[in-house]
Amino acid sequence: MSLSREQMLVEMGITPIWVLRDEAPVEPAAAVSQVVPAEAETAAAVAVVAPAASPPADFALHPMTAVDTLDWPELARQVTDCRACPLCEQRKQAVLGVGDLNPDWLFIGEGPGAEEDAKGEPFVGQAGKLLDNMLASLDIVRGQRVYIANAVKCRPPANRTPEAVELAACAPYLERQIALLKPKIIVLLGKVAVHALLHDDKALAALRGKRYEVAGIPVVVTYHPAYLLRNLPDKAKAWEDLLFARRLLREQMAPELPF
Ligand code: URA
């Protein structure tokens, strides 16, 4: 089923359409020439994030092979076979990610749920439907220009929040994905993704609206779609975050254009 943009925004619960004061009205191609600079406070907020901390010394289960030199097939194989943390015990399968291997956008969630564990693809349940609608509102289709991954690749039992040691065990895989994908913008969906990549556990509300940076790539924080399903009014804030991310992406793609 193909939905119009208006229908998609209705689906996301965002009507009337929200347009940021400094955001050019829709029309993607024309809008490129109307890129505006990130606000001064945004520039000041840039944070260059150090590589993930190593797993704790008492953590015996490391990935067997160094991950930072793997190509995609080797990475996929190693994730499939991974036994680096206890999450491997109850998974049906590891879920590496899905999408364009040369993407503009990288969205990172928390970890697979039951449906993702069964299907082997991230965000295929209710939260995934909302994520697809969020993508559609940016004129993006799953699989084109976007890659979707999770902080942990195996389903935590009963969908509990992944623990720090599990995030640390999976961090090399996420870092390698970022290095191979070289996205132009990364969007972190929810607190766990923020914790995994930015090592920051402040409240999400305090983290939104700022530009972070990982491996030279701009990073934006927004709410997790599952949270948005329970907190409908915050969908408008998520829409603002996506517009902010799109502005940063356009700056990446056309830095020479006058603002
Ligand atoms: N929630 C996530 O964070 N990731 C998924 O893949 C599904 C639900």
Q: Which residue has the tokens 């517009």?
A: 243
3-state secondary structure (DSSP) of residue 186: strand
Distances (CA, A) of 210 to 47, 49, 191, 195: 9, 13, 15, 15
The pLDDT mean for the chain works out to 82
Alpha carbon of 235 to ligand 1 centroid (Å): 17
Hey, whose CA ends up nearest to atom 7 of ligand 1?
123
- Whichever domain contains 125, its CATH number is 3.40.470.10
Other C-beta atoms closer than 10 Å to the C-beta of 124 total 22
Alpha carbon of 97 to ligand 1 centroid (Å): 10
**Ligand 1 atom with the shortest distance to the CA of 225:** 1
**Ligand 1 atom with the shortest distance to the CA of 189:** 3
Rounded distance between C-alpha atoms, residue 110 and residue 152, angstroms:
6
Alpha carbon of 151 to ligand 1 centroid (Å): 9
Q: Where in the sequence is the domain holding 200, given as residue range(s)? A: 5-256
Split into its structural domains, the chain has a count of 1
Alpha carbon of 74 to ligand 1 centroid (Å): 23
Q: CB–CB of 212/49 below 8 Å?
A: yes
Alpha carbon of 96 to ligand 1 centroid (Å): 12
Between strands 105-109 and 185-189, the pairing is parallel
- 30, pLDDT greater than 90: no
Alpha carbon of 69 to ligand 1 centroid (Å): 27
* Sequence-separated (6 or more) residues with CB below 8 Å from residue 116: 95, 122, 123, 124, 125, 128, 150, 155
Of 5-14, 146-155, 182-191, 234-243, minimum mean pLDDT range: 5-14
Average pLDDT value for residue range 243-259: 84
Alpha carbon of 152 to ligand 1 centroid (Å): 9
Exposure of 112 by Cβ count < 10 A (0-12 exposed, 13-18 middle, 19+ buried)? Answer: buried
**pLDDT at position 133:** 97
- 195, pLDDT greater than 60: yes
Q: Which of 146, 150, 177, 224 to mutate to test the pocket of ligand 1 (most atoms within 8 A of CB)?
A: 150
Q: Which of 92, 115, 123 to mutate to test the pocket of ligand 1 (most atoms within 8 A of CB)?
A: 123
Give residue ranges with CB within 6 A of ligand 1.
109-113, 116, 122-123, 127, 150, 226
- The pLDDT tens digits for 61-98 are 455 569 999 999 999 999 999 999 999 999 999 999 99
Rounded distance between C-alpha atoms, residue 94 and residue 70, angstroms:
17
Rounded distance between C-alpha atoms, residue 137 and residue 68, angstroms:
34
Cut 0.85: pTM above it: no
